[in-house]
Amino acid sequence: MRAAETTTTRTGRRRAVPWAVLGLWIAVIALVGPFAAKLADVQHDKVTDYLPASADSTQAAKIEDKLPGGETTEMVLVYHRDGGLSAADRKTAAGQVTEITRQHELIGGAPKGIPSKDGTTLMYALASNEPGANEEQRDKLVNDVREVAQGEGGLSVDVGGTGALATDSGAVYDSLGGPLLYTTVAVVAVLLILIYRSPVLWLVPLVVAGIADYMSMGVAYGLNQAFGTTVSGQSSGVMTILVFGAGTDYALLLVSRYREELRRFERPYKAMVAALRGCGPAVLASSGTVAAGLLCLLAADLNSSRGMGPLGAVGVLCALIAMMTLLPAILVLVGRRVFWPLVPVFGGTPKQRRSLFSAMGSSAGRRPLTVLASGAVLLGALALGSLNLPGALKQEDSFVNKPEAVVAMETVAKSYPGQGSQPIDVITPQGRADETLAAVRGTPGVGSADKGRTGDGWTEISVFANSAPQSAGETATIKSLRDKLKGSYVGGDSAQQIDLEVTNGRDTKIVVPLVLVSVMLILIGLLRSLVAPLLLVVAVVAVWGASLGIGGLVFEPLLGLKGTDPGLGLLSFVFLVALGVDYGIFLMHRMREESLAGAEPTVAALTALRTTGGVIASAGLVLAATFAVLTNMGLVQLVQLGFVIAVGVLLDTFLVRTYLVTSASVALGRKLWWPGVLSREPGPAERTGPAGPTEPPRQAETVGAP
């Protein structure tokens, strides 16, 4: 009687645990919800949110904001006709400028038109610091000007300049949130339906991933309020990608293990406990590796990179917590029927079939050195494509579809050759303004320079170079100004691009070693070896190089992208190393389990590949597809980042981990685990492992294809 009562009590407690977890999550969402809704309020895409923290251009931008009229909106109104402007065109332009002046308070009143020498273009410089000028007011002003400035009969009218470019950039960033989320959800949903072959099961991890994303938004807002963490459209978008990509990967591993345990345990609760014990350590280690790699970006000086590190780590950790607590609770509560129509039967045996990864592993196992050498040559050849990467990305080339402001800039550059069309901003101490102005005018490459706004101890000097924006000549002029003007700051759009490129180079030298060291230390602690972690790290670095090489073969020749984002190398390295090692952990962890059970090195390697291949391939497809979503966004830097990471994940999933890591493991044998205990030959009494590679272990389907 007492035994029956004890059993009933235990059963009741087990049933209560999932409900308690579900209730806890409801409370968490209720608590986090108000903060998640505020994330959009602290998301900014100002220049200073992306610039290097210590660069000249950043300091100049900050001081400019504090100067009288610091919120001035500057625009360039460009009238153009290919065959030359007619008298009617000039009259139309003058009338529209008069109307704009009547509607808005312009600095200096109605501007005078500046005709091009070839007579095809007429340019008006407009500036306004109407009361209450901010991002919203700027956008309204730009849109009002565009509404008035209209061309007809072959006359094109475009509004450009820094103010219009900021408005167009903001519109692109604002459009990322909704489409990025919806597209990601749709892609993950389709893949989960195909993987699970169930009309119900796919919905559970997808809903949990959505909840994790909502939670990550609340945590990201908290980081912003507590530590001032930069939140930009780029970093919040990548955070969403990581939540759905990494979260779905963890769900695939857990659900696969849970399906197997349901054949061994009658009660879903016990099956889930066994599943969590089986795959939990590897999932924890892999997510920890990804988070640690991303947090290394905190050492970057570039604001956008430094902000992306903690936000990316938040996304991964929120996905981990949700998939290891909420997902198990829901699966236990709904029971076996969630797998319908392929419901695992208690005591049943899964259908044994020779999998694709078993065949691939066998080929790698027969000629490991040949496969390894061939793969290394292929990756090296692909990496050479990185030499074909286009040069640094110019501001006007950073949009997939050119907005009006960029079209205006291109027209000005073409119609006014040899003349700077955007200012270089020099911020100098107020007491040295005249001295600095004289020095600026005496600098080679400077076409004109005039004093502007003064306040708070600083004076702004607007400088126009003789060369086109972001050309080699203008770059040389900016560097000359910085060398000559000690104690002053040189900023502006072109200076910002120079600082972005220089700072990314500096950050790469610091962050890359940090990522490698942190990942190596985690792998050494997990695998109890020096050789196995080194193999995984070398493999993912090779994947990174090959992925950049493929980008070099695709970006300009096929996609028509005219430049490479300066931050592509660093960000793609951090993501591919962290995510690539993530998958390597699942393979190596299973290989180590088989070796500890007494399997010979070759048997352990092939069994690990056979049992992990299906689910990790599914996970790789999901992760690659989620990052591929970025290639549909309107910014070149996101397109390039998404492409390189998606290609890298696919290379790692279907080539490097399958063939190269397995071949290297077979070739190294026990040396793979040096200097750990597994590197030593076992005694006769310890040889209790599987008899051969064709004999499946007890849990051969543990992490196989769902």
pLDDT tens string 370-418: 888 998 999 999 999 999 999 888 877 888 888 898 899 889 888 887 6
Give CA–CA dist 656/540, Å, rounded: 8
pLDDT at 658: 80
**Which residues are within 8 A (CB) of 407 and not within 5 positions of it... i.e. 6 or more apart?**
158, 160
Residue 579 lies in a domain: yes
Report percent pLDDT > 90 for the chain.
Answer: 31
Can you state the angle between helices 601-628 and 636-651, rounded to 10 degrees? 160
Task: Give the containing element (helix H, strand E) for 55.
Answer: none
Do 479 and 509 fall into the same domain? no
Residue 81 lies in a domain: yes
pLDDT at 64: 81
Give CA–CA dist 287/572, Å, rounded: 18
Do 517 and 569 fall into the same domain? yes
Do 664 and 574 fall into the same domain? yes
Do 447 and 505 fall into the same domain? no
pLDDT at 695: 38
Residue at which a domain ends, from 306, 321, 346:
346
pLDDT at 14: 64
Residue 613 lies in a domain: yes
Which CATH number characterizes residue 135's domain? Answer: 3.30.70
529: domain range? 363-396+499-686
Number of folded domains that form the chain: 4
- The amino acid present at 351, given as its one-letter code, is K
CB-based contact 492:484 (threshold 8 Å): no
Do 480 and 520 fall into the same domain? no
Handedness of CA 473, 475, 480, 485 (dihedral sign): positive
Residue 655 lies in a domain: yes
pLDDT at 148: 93
Give CA–CA dist 430/164, Å, rounded: 29
Do 125 and 164 fall into the same domain? yes
pLDDT at 360: 65
pLDDT band at residue 210 using 50, 70 and 90 as cut-offs: very high
From 334, 297, 646, select the one nearest 504 (Cα to Cα): 297
Which tokens go with 212?
């994790």
Residue 353 lies in a domain: no
DSSP character for 399? B
Task: Give the containing element (helix H, strand E) for 271.
Answer: helix 268-295
Do 504 and 486 fall into the same domain? no
CB-based contact 706:256 (threshold 8 Å): yes
Do 144 and 202 fall into the same domain? no
Which CATH number characterizes residue 440's domain? Answer: 3.30.70.260
Give CA–CA dist 488/486, Å, rounded: 5
Give CA–CA dist 222/520, Å, rounded: 31
Locus of tokens 């009238």: 79
pLDDT at 443: 92
pLDDT at 328: 94
Mean pLDDT of 29-33: 88
Residue 290 pLDDT > 70: yes
Range of 196-200, 244-248, 605-609 with top mean pLDDT: 244-248
Residue 280 lies in a domain: yes
Between the alpha carbon of residue 393 and those of residues 52, 398, 500, the distances in Å are 16, 7, 10
Report percent pLDDT > 70 for the chain.
Answer: 90
Residue 187 lies in a domain: no
From 654, 605, 666, 591, select the one nearest 368 (Cα to Cα): 666
* 3-state class (DSSP) for residue 631: helix
**Which residues are within 8 A (CB) of 673 and not within 5 positions of it... i.e. 6 or more apart?**
527, 528, 529, 531, 532, 592, 595, 679
CB-based contact 385:553 (threshold 8 Å): yes
Do 650 and 540 fall into the same domain? yes
Report the 10 Å Cβ neighbour count for 335.
Answer: 13
Residue 580 lies in a domain: yes
Whether the bond between 205 and the residue before it is cis, its omega within 30 degrees of 0, is no
Q: For residue range 426-447, list pLDDT tens digits in order.
A: 999 998 989 999 999 999 989 8
pLDDT at 122: 94
Residue 98 pLDDT > 80: yes
Q: For residue range 133-183, list pLDDT tens digits in order.
A: 567 788 888 999 999 999 888 899 999 888 888 888 877 777 666 777 788
pLDDT band at residue 686 using 50, 70 and 90 as cut-offs: low
pLDDT at 220: 94
CB-based contact 385:547 (threshold 8 Å): no
pLDDT band at residue 616 using 50, 70 and 90 as cut-offs: confident
Beta bridge partners of 158: 78
Angle value at C-alpha 604, between 602 and 610, nearest 5 degrees:
100
Q: Please provide the average confidence, as pLDDT, over all residues in the chain.
A: 84
Locus of tokens 């290919």: 82
Which tokens go with 279?
């795959």
Residue at which a domain ends, from 304, 319, 346:
346
